[in-house]
Every structure is written in C-alpha cells, then in structure tokens.
Amino acid sequence: METLLLTTEDADIRRGAQIIKNGGLVAFPTETVYGLGADAFDPKAAKRSYAAKGRPSDNPLIVHIAKTEELYSLATEVPAEALKLAEAFWPGPLTMVLPKRPEVPKETTGGLDTVAVRMPRSAATLKLIEYSGTALSGPSANVSGRPSPTSWLHVKNDLDGRIDAIICGDPSEVGIESTVLDLTEPEKPVILRPGYVTPEMISAVCGREVSYDPALFAKPSEDPSYRPKAPGQKYKHYAPKAEMLLFEGPEKEVLAEIKRRLKTAQEEGIKTGVIAHPDPRTFFAQLREFDAQGCGLILAAAPDDSEEFTGSLKFSLMNRMLKAAGYNIIKVGGRQNMKIAIASDHGGFVLKQPLVEHLKEKGYEVADLGIYEQEPVDYPIYGKKCAEYVVSGQADKGILCCGTGIGIGIAANKIHGIRCALLVTPFMAEMAAKHNHANMVSLGGRIVTPEQACELVDIWLETEEEHGRHDRRVALLDEM
C-alpha cells in the first residue's frame, strides 16, 4: 500500500475525506498528538485501525467530532455537565466518556458500552470530519506501544505502507494525549487518563470534586480479563527502543546522578540520551530522536516544580514518563529533601499540627492536606486524599492521624501502591521502614502523645530500608 502525503489545503482534505468514506485510514493532526482516522460507525474500519497499529482490540478508540451537537449521535445520554465542559474546553484536549448509542459498534469502543468523545482543535481535522460526513475514531497514529507521534514524520516512520494517507499538518503543540474524563460514574467525574486539562480546571466548571481513577497509580494491568475504559490502562505505552531510567529527587542531585551514569555509559560504549528538563510538548519527540540516533540508554530527570508544569500537569507528564521508563524510577537525594504529605481527621488533629511544625524544623517540606480546624469529618476521605497525593509522586511519603490510627490507615491501603503502617512503639516505627518499606504511616491521637508521635515519625524517616528478601516481599505487596 502506498501512503499518500496530503497537505492541509482544502482539495487534499476532501481527498482524505473520500478515503474515509471508502473505509480507509487517514492520519490527521491535532493539538495533542497525531490521530489515525477512520469512520467511527464502521466496524471494519475499526478493525483496520487496530491491525495497522498492532493494537489489541479491547483497547478503546477515541471518537472525534467537529460540532458539539454530534454528541447526540454517539451517546444515549448527554448530561448538562458534559455540555458545560464542551463549552469550556472544546475544541481542545478533553475527552469525555459517555454511554454509547447502539449505532456505535463495539469494535470502536473496545467492547464497552461507553464511548469516548472529543473535539480536536486542528482546523484541518475539523474540516476532515465535516467533509467525511461522520465522526472519526482516532487512536494515536503510531505503532502500538511506541512513543506517541507529535509530527507527521513520526506517523510516516511508524505507519508508512500500513495506512492510506497522512495529512501533513503542524507539530502538536500540547504534546501529550487528551485528558479522558468518565462522566458515567454517578458519584463524581473520574479522570481515566491525565492530560493538559487538569482536575482543578474541570472542578471549576462542574462545581464538584473530580478524582483520579485508582488504576493511574499502578502499573498497567496484565490481567487478560481486565477491560480498560480508556487507552493506556492495560498495555505498554510510549516505550522507546532504548532502556530508560527515570530519576526523581532534588534537581541538583538528580542532575549529578545523571552525569555520573552518563560517564559510566560512555566508558562502556553505550550511546546515551539525556532528558534533563522534561517538557510535555517535546517529550515524545525526544524519545523518537534518541531511537533514531541508536541510543541504548536514556537517562531522564522527573519533572521538577517549574512555574509552567506543577501540580496536576506535572502528574500528567510523570504518568507518561513512568510508562515510557517501564516504571524504572530511581530516587536520589538526602532524606531532608523529602516532601511529606500529612492529613488527619478530628480524632488525630491533636497530633497533626505538632507534627507539621516538627517536620518543618527538621528541614522537610510538608504538604498539609487538612483538616485545618477540629471539626467532625469522615477519616476515609482524608486517608484517600493523602494516599493519592503520595502515590501520584506529589510527595515522597505520607503521615495520617486519626483517633486510633487504624481506620485512616486502612483507607490509605485501599490505594494501590501504598504501604501504610500503624506506629505505636519505636520498634514498629523501625520495622515499618527497615522491613516493610512503608511509604505512609498512621498514628492515633488517643494512643500516643504529640511528643511520642514526633519521636516515632523520626525513627521511621531516619531508618534505612533493608533490601534482599524484603524487596521480594514488598514487590509481592505492590502486585496485590
């Protein structure tokens, strides 16, 4: 098959639309990454998309539309909340998951009864959708598992001879895939895939809390029976050909460690790529450039807290970097550079403020997640909040306080990747670090005094982890 290279001129876009109408595949530009377009209502076209990418057929395809009213042809229910979000963020990098109409084939939705929909920002792609006379399914236009394509050249390198045409537009300015928001959950909207549109931005429009799917805090599931609700939840993604190591810690120490390892790799004759200051707009392009150079190793610094990429946007970039590195993350730096998250309910409030002051005096950075005055609250909310903060990489470790330390610790341990240990005695504090590698601890306001709590936390933070057999057991915990 010859893959046509089309311009963004009107005649070429109409040519691409005719290919879509004939059941073909046309790659198109968007502000996030390039997509692989096919008729979203044609099950055979969906199968061709999966085949061209080498993508498993249970990995749902995102559907692209040119007008908000086209939602009604795809979804059985379009809540007022979805229309408010569309007005705020479309065209743009937000995908909404809604219950699908019967006309949308399950080949497009990966076998699910929901459909993921967004409106891209590219004028050329909006015309392509309009001229095609149909919504377009559009997974990233790359070989499945490889770094996402942010230019038409990336698409050509991966899919030349596998698809009918590529519309050669500008490079993608956002550089990471859209935020995927599930609006089918009755309690609150849930982010299935983080992106440029953050939970805070969505909450500001919806007027209610938005949460992350717990699957985001774990390695992609390898369970063959698991059916992902959004791309990136089950299979390997964004991977370069080279081994990639991700370093997290204070910037100065991270860069020193990368420099040391770069020197070792060069002495061993390993061609090595370095990402010292990751940027979501260029990250995937850098991975592809290192592959083109024949690098055998990539050394990358985790996102720092620059003014532009903080909080939830930093988490979105870190999500891609972790997947690209196969979760090979190396922590560097001294303990006094740790960031500690802390939260309590009313029963543990008596411990929280003394702990905050104590940790700051010791030189730790502290994120106080509440409560801020002693009033009755439900401890699971604060246990979950602090655990998600830790597991997302926004803090290195977490401390929880409630009446006994038991309930809030149980809540934290419901979050995949958290190992929360109850501290009552100095020996328990030592073992929590040494043998269990606890990344969170809980304490009881009715069990220990503030002075005892500070002592227990000091022991936990200052005890070195033992490895060997303990690594194996901790790995088993993390797999559960």
Please give the full DSSP string across 402-425, using - where no structure is assigned. ESSSHHHHHHHHTSTT--EEE--S
**Per annotation, catalytic residue among 304, 463, 470, 478:** 470
Q: In terms of Cα–Cα distance, which of 106, 124, 123 is closest to 115?
A: 106
Q: What's the sign of the alpha-carbon dihedral 119, 124, 125, 128? A: positive
Pick the CATH number of 243-331 from 3.90.850.10, 3.40.50.11030, 3.30.470.10, 3.40.50.450: 3.40.50.11030
pLDDT digits (tens, 9 = 90+) for 202-259: 999 999 999 998 888 766 655 555 556 666 555 557 889 999 999 988 888 899 999 9
Q: Which residues of 319-336 are buried (b: 16+ CB within 10 A; e: fewer)?
A: bbbbbbbeeebbebbeee
CA-closest candidate to residue 332, choices 431, 258, 400 = 258
Between vectors from CA 386 to CA 380 and to CA 391, what angle results, nearest 5°? 120
Residue pair 219/327 in contact (Cβ under 8 Å)? The answer is yes
**Domains of the chain: which residue ranges?**
4-185, 243-331, 335-479
Question: Annotated catalytic residue: which of 7, 184, 435, 463?
Answer: 435
Residue 147: predicted pLDDT: 95
> How far apart (Å, rounded) are the C-alpha atoms in residues 89 and 110?
25
In the numeric block, which tokens belong to residue 402? 């409630």
- SS3 state of residue 322: helix
Helices (H), 111-250: 123-132, 152-159, 199-206
Q: Does residue 160 have an active-site annotation?
A: no
Q: For residue range 280-316, what is the model confidence (pLDDT) as tens digits?
A: 999 999 999 999 999 999 999 998 766 566 678 888 9
Catalytic residue among 295, 402, 420, 454: 402
For 189-202, the pLDDT digits (tens) are 999 999 999 999 99
Least confident of 266-275, 293-302, 359-368, 420-429: 359-368
Dihedral over Cα of 147, 149, 155, 159: its sign? positive
Widest pairwise Cα distance in the chain: 76
- Given the candidates 3.40.50.2000, 1.20.1260.10, 3.40.1400.10, 3.40.640.10, the CATH classification of the domain at 335-479 is 3.40.1400.10
Three-state DSSP class for residue 116: strand
pLDDT tens-digit profile of 325-374? 988 888 786 555 689 999 999 999 999 999 999 998 888 889 999 999 88
pLDDT-above-70 percentage for the chain:
92
Confidence of residue 122 (pLDDT cuts 50, 70, 90): very high
Query: Is there a catalytic annotation at residue 345?
Result: yes
CATH class of the domain defined by 4-185: alpha beta
- 470 is annotated as an active-site residue: yes
| Backbone φ and ψ of 97, nearest 5° | -100, 125
Q: Do domains 4-185 and 243-331 have the same CATH topology?
A: no
Instruction: Tell me which of 39, 182, 345, 396 is the catalytic residue.
Output: 345
Rounded-to-integer distance, Cα 478 and Cα 168, Å: 44
Active site residue 386: no
The per-residue pLDDT for 228 is: 61
What tokens appear for 345 in the block?
């309910």
402 catalytically annotated: yes
